[in-house]
């Protein structure tokens, strides 16, 4: 092989979502994921090792995607009209962890951690692929958690890119079943890899999907540090959702000084650093997971504790939920899907409409659009979503060309 196969198919740092599935699937280990100057993980390929098998292209969630085909492969059915926006599902819930420590450590009720601990205690899984933030390296990293303490240490949100290829390789090499927790791009790539590898399909028992409005590049985190007059060398600890719900971006320095920015103030700032691939993403609710999870921001309580919105999509996911509730690990209440649609309308409109505009804007910033099949709902035009989409692409173009003024964005902190 004398050419970079990923580049041949148009996979460049703008189209690549950084999931790491190409690194996982490569039989010659020609691909490694690197955190580049763009602030995202991108594949580095040793051309001399490539055997032109194209497995990396087949599992890539960004090159092409066929909704109907994957629906039938995973769920054995087609979507009903009510499932066009949310994906195929069985039931929806509001829930939270009974364990106060788990709930206080989590960003949104602690149900994900509670379910993983329950599955681990019951012997259903040997461990779970989750994410932690490495302060020394200033990056999010995936790893296999094998104990309740390790699962709790990986709880809460990380608003930074993460590649899961290396951790998936460990799952491939070990005995027993595992759970994976990922963003929509991770889960899509895993499902495509499972279609090619029976071994992986048999090892991953649970697919936990985090709903996602987009992942900021690591430059978003670095910008927040600058606003707090910190550098990565100063840090002892970093958290995106520390303290009382909904939490703060919080850093602890080596001098044990703690500095914070509340979520509602830093959220609009860090969103300005979204990776361009996220701007054309069509999956908000993590449609190919067994269970999808989101922060239920519309539910508040006097104790300032988070609550989880849950969409169960498979019988495996539903059974785990009921079993965990019966074992007093979590509390569940039925959620009206109309309430969820109302509360998440902005996210869903942004993800599920204006396909033509998205692809046009993506080309303008230098990307090669993915090939999408059987996605008729994405062609609908919605004016407000189109305006927000245009502003986000404009923001990307400004930031990418290094014209962001610190005074402009930092003024949002003081509102």
The verdict on residue 233 lying in a domain is: no
CB 190 within 8 A of CB 207: yes
Q: Which residue segment(s) compose the domain that 356 sits in?
A: 78-217+274-400
Q: pLDDT at position 398, please?
A: 67
Instruction: Give domain status of residue 194, yes or no.
Output: yes
Residue 235 lies in a domain: no
Is residue 364 one of the residues assigned to a domain?
Answer: yes
pLDDT at 322: 95
Burial of 299 (0-12, 13-18, 19+ CB in 10 A): middle
- Give every residue of the chain whose pLDDT is below 70, as ranges: 1-3, 5, 8-10, 301-303, 376-377, 398-415
**Residue 98's closest CA among 326, 386, 383?**
326
- CATH at 371: 3.40.640
Does residue 86 form part of some domain?
yes
Rounded CA-CA distance 42/165 in Å is: 12
Q: Between β-strands 371-373 and 204-210, what pairing exists: parallel, antiparallel or unpaired?
A: unpaired
Q: What is the pTM of this model?
A: 0.93
Does 210 map to a domain?
A: yes
Q: Where are the alpha helices (DSSP H) in 94-210?
A: 100-105, 111-121, 148-153, 165-173, 184-196, 198-203
> 28 in a domain, yes or no?
no
CA distances from 356 to 32, 348, 359, 372, 382 (A): 33, 16, 5, 11, 12
Residue 99 domain-assigned (yes or no): yes
Sign of CA dihedral 197, 200, 203, 206: negative
Q: At what angle do helices 218-227 and 263-270 cross, to 10 degrees?
A: 130
Find the helix packing angle between 383-400 and 345-352, rounded to 10°.
80
Question: What is the number of domains present in the chain?
Answer: 1
Question: Would you state the structure tokens that stand for residue 219, as one six-digit string?
Answer: 């430059």
The distance of Cα 370 from the centroid of its chain, to the nearest Å, equals 19
């Amino acid at each position: 092989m004398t050419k970079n196969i990923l580049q041949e198919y148009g996979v460049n740092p703008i189209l690549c979502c950084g999931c790491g599935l190409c690194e996982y699937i490569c039989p010659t280990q020609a691909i490694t994921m690197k955190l580049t100057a763009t602030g995202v993980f991108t594949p580095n390929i040793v051309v001399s090792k490539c055997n032109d098998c194209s497995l990396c292209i087949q599992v890539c969630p960004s090159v092409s995607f066929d909704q109907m085909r994957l629906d039938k492969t995973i769920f054995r059915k087609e979507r009903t009209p009510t499932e066009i926006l949310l994906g195929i599902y069985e039931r929806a819930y509001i829930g939270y962890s009974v364990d106060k420590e788990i709930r206080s450590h989590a960003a949104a009720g602690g149900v994900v951690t509670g379910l993983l601990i329950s599955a681990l205690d019951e012997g259903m899984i040997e461990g779970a692929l989750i994410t932690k933030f490495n302060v020394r390296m200033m990056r999010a990293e995936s790893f296999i958690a094998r104990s309740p303490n390790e699962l709790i240490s990986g709880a809460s949100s990380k608003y930074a890119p993460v590649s899961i290829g290396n951790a998936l390789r460990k799952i491939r090499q070990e005995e027993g079943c595992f759970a994976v927790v990922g963003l929509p791009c991770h889960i899509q790539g895993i499902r495509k890899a499972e279609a090619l590898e029976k071994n992986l399909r048999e090892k991953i028992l649970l697919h936990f999907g985090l709903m996602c409005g987009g992942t900021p590049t690591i430059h978003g985190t670095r910008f927040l540090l600058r606003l707090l007059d910190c550098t990565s060398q100063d840090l002892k600890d970093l958290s995106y959702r520390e303290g009382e719900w909904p939490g703060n971006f919080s850093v602890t320095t080596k001098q044990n000084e703690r500095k914070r920015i509340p979520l509602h103030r830093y959220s609009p700032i860090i969103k300005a650093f979204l990776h361009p691939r996220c701007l054309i993403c069509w999956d908000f609710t993590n449609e190919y997971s067994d269970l999808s999870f989101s922060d239920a921001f519309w539910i508040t309580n006097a104790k300032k504790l988070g609550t989880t919105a849950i969409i169960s999509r498979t019988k495996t996911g539903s059974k785990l939920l009921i079993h965990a509730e019966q074992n007093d690990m979590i509390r569940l209440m039925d959620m009206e899907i109309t309430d969820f649609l109302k509360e998440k309308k902005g996210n869903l409109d942004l993800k599920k409409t204006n396909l033509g505009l998205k692809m046009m804007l993506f080309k303008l910033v230098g990307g090669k659009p993915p090939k999408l099949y059987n996605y008729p709902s994405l062609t609908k035009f919605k004016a407000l979503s189109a305006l927000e989409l245009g502003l986000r692409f404009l923001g990307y173009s400004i930031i990418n060309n290094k014209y962001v003024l610190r005074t402009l964005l930092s003024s949002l902190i003081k509102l």
